[in-house]
Amino acid sequence: MVHDSKVKVASLITRDDGMILEFGPSPEGLYYYNFMKSVKRQEEKTMVVNMAEELQQNYTRREREGADRARRLYVIVRRPSDETLKGMSNKGLVLNNPVTVSDYENAVAIYGKDLGAIKGKTVRSKSEHVPVNLNCFPRERKALILSVDLMHIMEICFLVTVIRDVRFITAIALSDRKRKTIMDAMNQVINLYRGRGHEVKEMEFSE
């Protein structure tokens, strides 16, 4: 490990394979290494390149050139489904089209599915129902003081609330941070307490 504050405020660790890991200071003063933004992306990029080069050796030069043309055409026609693209090629819907169905199939075999199509067509699946344990609610009716905050996990925003003294916590995923979305989530929480015979007397919001 090397640490020279005159050069850079960071600790550098060299792995056995020669890769240098840089541990920088966090706002709290602790040194950490961002694994997600560097190592994982470098390894994925290297793995994809190596696999593509190995797969290309199984095809002739003409087949590789056809696969590259198929990838470009796929992006130009805005990444349709496999059936749609093959239908366009077979029915001659693309004028002066040099790409065949075999070219497209070779492109998928060499490079895999187009990343832009995978990201654009993948939707967030509905979460499974999580049962709420209400046994920790106070039995007698009382006015509650509710602390409210917004929390982000993996780029998903949650409205988090907790009852003072009781420590009952709720978390609701928000589709956005618009006023209406937040108010709808707040009404869900308030109605939850009202259904148990309680009233939210006061709310505290974090700054």
144-158 confidence digits (pLDDT tens)? 888 899 988 878 899
Specify whether 116 is located in the same domain as 168: no
Burial 11-32 (b: 16+ CB within 10 A, else e): beeeeeeeeebebeeeeeeeee
Report helix, strand or coil for 83. Answer: helix
Query: Is residue 51 one of the residues assigned to a domain?
Result: no
Residue 43 pLDDT level (bands cut at 50, 70, 90): very low
Specify whether 115 is located in the same domain as 62: yes
Most confident of 7-21, 38-52, 106-120: 106-120
Query: Is residue 151 one of the residues assigned to a domain?
Result: yes
Q: Could you give the CA distance from residue 101 to residue 67 in angstroms, rounded to a whole number?
A: 10
Beta bridge partners of 145: 202
Per-residue pLDDT tens over the stretch 15-39: 776 777 777 777 777 777 666 555 4
Query: Is residue 115 one of the residues assigned to a domain?
Result: yes
In the chain, the number of structural domains is 3
Specify whether 117 is located in the same domain as 147: no
Query: Is residue 201 one of the residues assigned to a domain?
Result: yes
Answering whether pTM is above 0.95, one says: no
Domain CATH number, residue 151:
3.30.420.10
Look at residue 143 in the predicted model and tell me its pLDDT.
75
Both tokens assigned to 203? 């709310």
Specify whether 201 is located in the same domain as 158: yes
Per-residue pLDDT tens over the stretch 71-104: 888 888 878 888 888 888 777 777 788 888 888 8
Task: Give the domain extent around 110.
Answer: 58-121
Query: Is residue 133 one of the residues assigned to a domain?
Result: no
Query: Is residue 38 one of the residues assigned to a domain?
Result: no
Query: Is residue 42 one of the residues assigned to a domain?
Result: no
% of the chain beyond a pLDDT of 90: 3
Specify whether 110 is located in the same domain as 157: no
Q: Is the dihedral of CA 127, 157, 193, 188 positive or negative?
A: negative
Residue 109 has pLDDT above 80, yes or no: yes
Query: Is residue 53 one of the residues assigned to a domain?
Result: no
Both tokens assigned to 140? 């007698």
Specify whether 26 is located in the same domain as 71: no
Residue 48 has pLDDT above 80, yes or no: no
